[in-house]
Amino acid sequence: MDTSTKAASDLRAPHSRALANFLCMLSMLVWALGLPAADLLIGPVPALPLTAARMVMAALCLLPLWWWMEGPQALRAAHWGKGVLVGGGGIGIGAFMLVLGQGRTNMVTVAVISAAMPVVGIAIEVALDGRKITLALVLGVLLSLVGGVMALGGAGDGLGMGLGALLCFGSIVLYTLGSRMTVTSFPTLTPLGRTTVTLTGAALATSVAAAANALLGGAGPDWNVLGLKELGALAVFAIGGLAISQVLWIMSIGSLGIAMSSLHINATPFYVMLILFALGGAWDWTQALAAAVVGLGVLIAQGIVPLGRRPAPVASATHDRAQGH
């Protein structure tokens, strides 16, 4: 059994699988809440410095937590070189491309392109893990995509295409692959350790790139328009939308696999609507129905809701006839 297959089978009990799905839902909610914060920062802060600042703040949040929860020996035993490769090459570059893409388009485009994550996740598992394409899997993905389209509603009017959309898609591919490698490359680490190693690696790689860019005369932040409001937005974007959401995401991937976990992303507009509703906003039945469609797709793809009754085994029927029953 390869590492990814083992990781994907860590939680087999129904209650554990339910917990993994819940953590994935929570991860998507926290990630989605970071997108408006990014909109506030894109412009005053160029993409590369913003990505580096986000990664550094996330790593500085997780490193003391990991030290406190698992001790210094866990940090000393970690493969930091591999963390730089996986974190910098997958998570870091993916996050940089997402900021670039969102800067050239808008949050709507990011949401639309992100809806393709289940297809990307399944393609990765088919190519690298030998996953079999089943009717349940195809139907689950289709329902997830339909739910994502329903959740966006008329937002397609604000869809931006071209290079920005291409950057967003590239970001999704790299982030999905990097997330899978975060699980498979560090099989002995806990989800907190895996996330911390790769985000610290991403922080180092993007910081070096940002420093080199500054030395070469690249654009820097507009300090005149940056204040406490922007610092708060960076905290939401880095700690909430990256550090916390990534730990939850890696926990769910370790249990469900990247393909099953990515199905949840198309329900994020509903989670955001729930938060707004709790704060006094209006209830949106379209968002609720869209989330139900996505949820049904998740249940079917994971085999929790079977597509039909299984026929009785042939051997058993033959045995019954032989016994005269």
Residue-wise pLDDT for 144-201, tens only, equals: 888 877 776 655 445 556 777 888 889 889 989 999 999 999 999 999 999 999 999 9
pTM for this entry: 0.80
Q: Cα–Cα distance between 22 and 44 in angstroms, integer?
A: 36
Structure tokens at 245: 């959401």
pLDDT in tens, 219-268: 888 888 888 999 999 999 999 989 999 999 999 988 888 888 888 887 77
Q: Cα–Cα distance between 64 and 67 in angstroms, integer?
A: 5
For 51, 61, 217, the CA distances from 175, given in Å and listed in that order, are 14, 20, 29
Q: Cα–Cα distance between 176 and 173 in angstroms, integer?
A: 5
pLDDT in tens, 43-55: 899 989 999 999 9
Q: Which residue has the higher pLDDT, 286 or 212?
A: 212
Which phi and psi angles does 42 have, rounded to 5°?
-65, 125
**Pick from 42-51, 67-76, 80-89, 310-319: least confident:** 310-319
> Tokens 């198309």 appear where?
266
Mean pLDDT, the chain, integer: 81
Structure tokens at 10: 């860590």
Sign of CA dihedral 67, 68, 74, 78: negative
Side chain identity at 321, as an amino acid letter?
A: R
The residue among 12, 19, 93, 16 whose CA lies nearest residue 248 is 19
Tell me what pLDDT residue 52 has. 94
**Which residues partner with 42 through β-bridges?**
45
Distance in angstroms between the alpha carbons of the first and the last residue of the chain: 42
Side chain identity at 116, as an amino acid letter?
A: A
Average pLDDT over residues 283-305: 83
The residue among 32, 240, 248, 38 whose CA lies nearest residue 148 is 32
Asked whether 212 and 5 are in contact (CB, 8 A), the reply is: no
Does residue 312 register a pLDDT over 60?
Answer: no
The residue among 35, 95, 32 whose CA lies nearest residue 59 is 95
Does residue 107 register a pLDDT over 80?
Answer: no
Does residue 94 register a pLDDT over 80?
Answer: yes
Structure tokens at 55: 């990664």
Q: Cα–Cα distance between 285 and 182 in angstroms, integer?
A: 37
Residue-by-residue DSSP string for 26-51: HHHHHHHHHHHHHHHHBTTB-HHHHH
Structure tokens at 160: 């931006």
Average pLDDT over residues 2-11: 40
